[in-house]
Chains A and B, each alone.
Chain A
Amino acid sequence: DTAVSQTPKYLVTQMGNDKSIKCEQNLGHDTMYWYKQDSKKFLKIMFSYNNKELIINETVPNRFSPKSPDKAHLNLHINSLELGDSAVYFCASSQVGGGASTDTQYFGPGTRLTVL
């Protein structure tokens, strides 16, 4: 069983388009995240949701909007895509607080976004 899944795994699109990436976790975790990995492999947090509430919103353009319909899903919608948005986007989840195995983040397989 896949713990954290993302769709699609690859996304190629034109500048100016709007696209979404979906993420689902079946680990029963209460916190989900989006990270961006740039061309130099550097990973940086974009958003974090705890129990469907936004708790981290790093400095990302407001063209990026996360949506969490329930604790198991955190989708990323991107408006007016730009060349600089090309990257790998990772979803992750964790159970925050309270025990030996908590605070460990488990990652999805990543979505490689290419903007032409």
Chain B
Amino acid sequence: AQTVTQSQPEMSVQEAETVTLSCTYDTSESDYYLFWYKQPPSRQMILVIRQEAYKQQNATENRFSVNFQKAAKSFSLKISDSQLGDAAMYFCAYIPYSGAGSYQLTFGKGTKLSVIP
């Protein structure tokens, strides 16, 4: 069974600084996708960034980037120039390639990020 582990229940960062959220996962699949979702107090689940396991290049979306280490099964999220609006719960999630017949997203337990003005 696949598992996703976020070892930091809470983190804080000073506004305009950089923070990295950790995520590790366990799978026997070779083709899969990894995601970071953000859940602000409004509780909406917002997709932050997505990584295909077959791609060696790390995904980036504006101030958000990942460090994907396939051999180590590690998928960390870096937020640069942190803003007050980045304060939220961040969830790491995994899904095997759908050709394998599984459609289930497996989530980590989340990291609560606070941004200090």
Q: Which of A's residues lie within 8 Å of B, judged by CB?
A: 31, 33, 35, 40-45, 48, 50, 55-56, 88, 90, 92, 94, 96-97, 100, 102-107, 109-110, 112
Q: Which residue of B lies closest to A44 (CB)?
A: B107
Find out whether the CB atom of B98 lies under 8 angstroms from the CB atom of A42: no
Scan B7-28; emit 1 where CB is below 8 A from any A CB, else 0.
0000000000000000000000
Query: Is there an interface contact between B107 and A43, defined as CB atoms closer than 8 Å?
Result: yes
In the complex, how many residues of chain B place their beta carbon closer than 8 angstroms to a beta carbon of chain A? Answer: 24
- Give the number of A-B contacts (CB < 8 Å): 57
A57 to B: closest C-beta gap in Å:
11
List residues of chain A with CB within 8 A of the CB of B50.
104
What are 21 pairs between A and B in contact, CB < 8 Å? A33-B103, A41-B89, A41-B110, A42-B107, A43-B105, A44-B107, A45-B104, A48-B103, A48-B104, A56-B104, A88-B43, A92-B105, A94-B103, A97-B99, A103-B97, A103-B98, A104-B33, A104-B35, A107-B44, A107-B46, A110-B44
